[in-house]
Amino acid sequence: MAKAVGKSNKKNGLREQTRLVRGGLRRSSFAETSEAIFMNSGYVYASAEEASGAFAGKNDHFIYSRFSNPTVSMFEDRLAQLEGAEACRATATGMAAVFASLACQLRAGDRVVASRALFGSCLYVVQDQLPRWGIETVLVDGRDLKQWKAALSKKTKVVFFESPSNPTLEIVDIAAVSKLAHKAGARVVVDNVFSSPVLQKPLQLGADIVVYSATKHIDGQGRAMGGAILGSRDYIDTDLTPFLRHTGPALSPFNAWVLVKSLETLELRMARHCDSAEQVAEFLATHPKIASVAYPTRKDHPQRALAKKQMSGGGNVVTFAIKGGQKAAFKFLNKLALVDISNNLGDSKSLITHPATTTHQRLPAETRKLYGIGDDMLRLSVGLEDVADLIDDLAQALA
Ligand SMILES: Cc1ncc(COP(=O)(O)O)c(C=O)c1O
């Protein structure tokens, strides 16, 4: 990895919010206050010897922005400090992060055990793509430790899951599954998108690798795509970095700049997201036209105790079922005046989607049924608007 530009301000012992504002900051010789955008693809060398030394890894020098870039490095270092990870690498999207985190360490003959409650594209990677390369994949109900235990009674290379899951908000016991996985010789990869790095720290619970779609809460304002992979120095340097360097899912420096600045407000935004989501969940749970509501830390969530043990807040997504099935769900969506119909989430703008016909449309109807993704289900990403306006909008659309 290439050297810092200017002086690094990495200070140990600072509290989380301070690290979110200052972690990884590297000022250039212009002494700018705010992080700079190094919008360049290449770097120059003072001599042929310096160039040759850089490629041989003998001197610290940025080489090419497909490999690393100063603005991208600031984002990676800030996120690593927040997560408490030894190292981080950023990618162009969340799916690039999911795919690279797995592909860089798997080979034909390996075995992967994953929770079946996954985002549609994650399911595609695990269920459709990996088996084409001779990798055996086994899906379990991630809530059921007995199923994990049975599946992990054989030697396994990687365990992969989301918690909470998209869109059903199922919780996986990260500490217990990590123990079982380690006994089977597996590394545990957690897609921590729904929690964000503020609300849940899988590495502290025993997981080995964490992946993010930074497109969601980390940007949090619907502007930039991005992803990140965090883990041990050994995994990042030995498995991941050569894979990224030669396959090229690099994050744009401009997007990295958007994301590093967004980290400064992530904790503040997540606190407000959680507070508003709790109020929206409470409103929906008491409405006569709503059949059921899922929110991880609510008293009626079947895995509430586990959610509270491993998360410091329930997140901003509320999933609910409306009486009257898909017809009623579509009618309700079309009546909303403030909340936008969109498949994205984690935005300052409240967004709602009908998973069965959007994010999980690809799955056969019987699989959706098995996974609990009903035609009456809606996934609401509660934004940062005044929560009273959101509840007014939901109420008028239900009426
Ligand atoms: C849980 C989860 N993982 C990964 C992704 C993929 O992220 P991106 O859209 O940035 O590729 C998403 C996107 O919705 C997601 O919800």
Long-range CB contacts for residues 33-37, cutoff 8 Å, separation at least 24: 34/261, 35/71, 35/74, 35/257, 35/260, 35/261, 36/70, 36/71, 36/257, 37/71, 37/253, 37/254, 37/257
Atom from ligand 1 closest to the CA of residue 344: 14
Instruction: Please state the rounded mean pLDDT for residues 231-253.
Output: 98
Instruction: Using the predicted structure, report yes or no on whether residue 37 has a pLDDT greater than 60.
Output: yes
Q: From CA 146, how far away is CA 14, in angstroms rounded? A: 40
How does pLDDT run across 74-102, given as a tens digit for each residue?
Answer: 999 999 999 999 999 999 999 999 999 99
pLDDT at 3 > cutoff 50: no
Is the per-residue pLDDT at 7 higher than 80? no
Residue 317: phi and psi, rounded to 5, are -105, 130
Q: How many CB atoms within 10 Å of residue 361? A: 11
Which residues are 212's β-sheet partners?
A: 228
Instruction: Indicate the burial class of 286 (C-beta count within 10 angstroms; 0-12, 13-18, 19 or more).
Output: exposed
Residue 12 binned pLDDT confidence (cut-offs 50, 70, 90): low
**Ligand 1 contacts CB of residue 215 (under 6 A):** yes
**How many residues are present in the chain?**
399
Helix/strand/coil (H/E/C) assignment for every residue in the chain: CCCCCCCECCCCCCCHHHHHHHCCCECCCCCCCCCCCCCCCECCCCCHHHHHHHHCCCCCCCCECCCCCHHHHHHHHHHHHHHCCCEEEEECCHHHHHHHHHHCCCCCCCEEEEECCCCHHHHHHHHHHHHHCCCEEEEECCCCHHHHHHHCCCCCCEEEEECCCCCCCCCCCHHHHHHHHHHCCCEEEEECCCCHHHHCCHHHHCCCEEEEECCCCCCCCCCCCCEEEEECHHHHHHHHHHHHHHHCCCCCHHHHHHHHHHHCCHHHHHHHHHHHHHHHHHHHHCCCCEEEEECCCCCCCCCHHHHHHHCCCCCCEEEEEECCHHHHHHHHHHHCCCCEECCCCCCCCCEEECHHHCCCCCCCHHHHHHCCCCCCEEEEECCCCCHHHHHHHHHHHHC
CA distance 308 to 296: 8
Q: Is 196 in the pocket of ligand 1 (CB under 6 A)?
A: no
The answer to whether the CB of 350 falls within 8 A of the CB of 382 is yes
Decide if pLDDT at 11 tops 50: no
Q: What is the mean pLDDT of the chain?
A: 95
d(CA 394, CA 372): 23
Return the CA Rg of the chain.
22
pLDDT at 10: 45
pLDDT of residue 13: 79
- Please say whether the dihedral angle defined by the alpha carbons of residues 109, 129, 246 and 223, taken in this order, is positive or negative: negative
Q: Mean pLDDT over residues 359-387, rounded? A: 94
Nearest to 85, CA basis, from 226, 234, 269, 193: 234
> From the alpha carbon of 165, which atom of ligand 1 is closest?
1
In tens, the pLDDT along 254-311 reads 999 999 999 999 999 999 999 999 999 999 999 999 999 999 999 999 999 999 999 9
Q: What is the pLDDT of residues 104-144, one digit of tens each?
A: 999 999 999 999 999 999 999 999 999 999 999 999 999 99
Residue 2 pLDDT: 40
Quote the pLDDT of residue 44: 97
Instruction: Say yes or no: CB of residue 122 within 6 Å of ligand 1.
Output: yes
The whole model's pTM is what? 0.95
Residues 6+ apart with CB under 8 A from 364: none
CB-ligand 1 contact for 229 (6 Å cutoff): no
Pocket mutation for ligand 1, best pick of 166, 172, 192, 196 (most atoms within 8 Å of C-beta): 166
* Domain segments of the chain as ranges: 75-262, 266-398
Examine the pLDDT at 1 and tell me if it is beyond 80: no
Distance from the CA of 39 to the center of ligand 1, in angstroms? Answer: 25
Q: How far is the CA of 66 from the centre of ligand 1 (A)?
A: 22
- The CATH number of the domain covering residues in 266-398: 3.90.1150.10
Confidence band (pLDDT; 50, 70, 90) for 362? confident
- Residue 200: is its pLDDT beyond 90? yes
75-262: CATH topology is Aspartate Aminotransferase; domain 2 (3.40.640)
Kindly give the distance from the C-alpha atom of residue 125 to the centroid of ligand 1, in angstroms, as a whole number.
12
Q: Is 249 in the pocket of ligand 1 (CB under 6 A)?
A: no
Residue type, 255: N
Residue 100 structure tokens: 């690279």
What pLDDT sits at residue 4? 37
Buried b (16+ CB within 10 A) or exposed e, 136-166: ebbbbbbbeeebbeebbeeebbbbbbbbbbb
Residue nearest to atom 15 of ligand 1 (CA): 119
Q: Give ∠ CA 390-361-393 in degrees, rounded to 5.
A: 10
Is the CB–ligand 1 distance for residue 255 below 6 Å? no
Site to substitute for ligand 1 among 123, 170, 215, most atoms within 8 A of C-beta: 215
- Ligand 1 touching residue 317 (CB < 6 A): no
Cβ(191) – ligand 1 distance below 6 Å: yes
Spacing, Cα 119 to ligand 1 middle (Å): 7
CA nearest to 373, candidates 346, 355, 386, 359: 355
